[in-house]
Amino acid sequence: MFAMEWLPGGSLAEFFRDEIRRKDERERKTVYIREIVHVLRQVGEALKYIHESRDHEGNEFTHGDVAARNVLLTNRNLDTCVAKLGDFGLPIDFVPRLPIPWLPPEIVCSLDRSPKHRPESDVWMFGVLGWECATLGAEPHFQRTFEEIQQSFGLPDRGLHCPPNCPMEFWSFLMDCLSEQHRRPRFSGLTDTATSAIYRLRQLETIYAHSNAKLNMVLNISNCTCSQHRCNIPLPPFTIR
């Protein structure tokens, strides 16, 4: 049994659902890019702590499910809230299905070989989390089949289109997180180089500190053209080590 701190702000996914996506346009909260970067930098600091930790055998820890549903908020003011990364330490086969739309290609494309989740995998998932934030809670790879998700990895944007009004500096960082495994920035290690995800996030915080740039909600749009809507069938169960 795991005991976790209760945070009254709920999850970031619940914030997007309750304050943005279920409200009509006049009632929606305005979300600024500076607020999103403020939250993501805190998630990045949590990943840095996780990735720099080791078990008794010296093996590195990873999170395994970096997504808006696992980012917990002390309150719903994104400018001032403390954000914490929850569900750390749960085995990936603990849940009925893997979070396929958030997982990187090195896992999704080799599930038959029981791939290992590494820190670089968390970085990819962080990039997808950033996309969730930039779209104000859209679902990645909405209604795509397993095969379509695999095919999207070959696209320049990995099948996650750049949302309207998304600042290019922020988008460039997300695309680096979604790059080839060896090219992704790292959360562990020194934080004063361009290869550090924390360094990049702190730069973005400085850039947008006084910005009034707003993000727009992106609707979940299905590209499904199949007559039987097989895209609505749940993805198959998998486990990885």
**pLDDT tens digits, one per residue of 60-72:** 899 999 999 999 9
186: left (phi over 0), alpha (psi -120 to 50) or beta: beta
- Of the chain, the percentage scoring pLDDT greater than 90 comes to 73
Amino acid residing at 52:
E
Residue 201 pLDDT > 50: yes
Report d(CA 97, CA 3) in Å as an integer. 23
Q: What predicted TM-score, i.e. pTM, was given to this entire model? A: 0.88
Higher pLDDT, 58 or 133: 133
- SS3 state at 83: strand
Higher pLDDT, 181 or 232: 181
Instruction: Specify the pLDDT at position 226.
Output: 56
CA 134: distance to chain centroid?
10
Q: What is the arithmetic mean of pLDDT over 176-181? A: 97
Higher pLDDT, 146 or 88: 146
The pair of three-digit structure tokens given for residue 134, joined into one six-digit string: 């930039």
The pair of three-digit structure tokens given for residue 121, joined into one six-digit string: 């995998």
Report domain 12-232's class: mainly alpha
Beta-bridge mates of residue 85: 71
Instruction: Specify the pLDDT at position 239.
Output: 43
Q: List pLDDT tens digits, range 102-158.
A: 999 999 998 878 788 999 999 999 999 999 999 999 999 999 999 999 999 999 999
Higher pLDDT, 77 or 93: 77
Report d(CA 33, CA 240) in Å as an integer. 34
Q: How many residues does the chain have?
A: 241
Residues 6+ apart with CB under 8 A from 130: 36, 40, 170, 173, 174, 177
- Enumerate the active-site residues: 65
As a whole number of Å, the end-to-end CA separation of the chain is 21
Instruction: Specify the pLDDT at position 221.
Output: 67
Amino acid residing at 220:
N
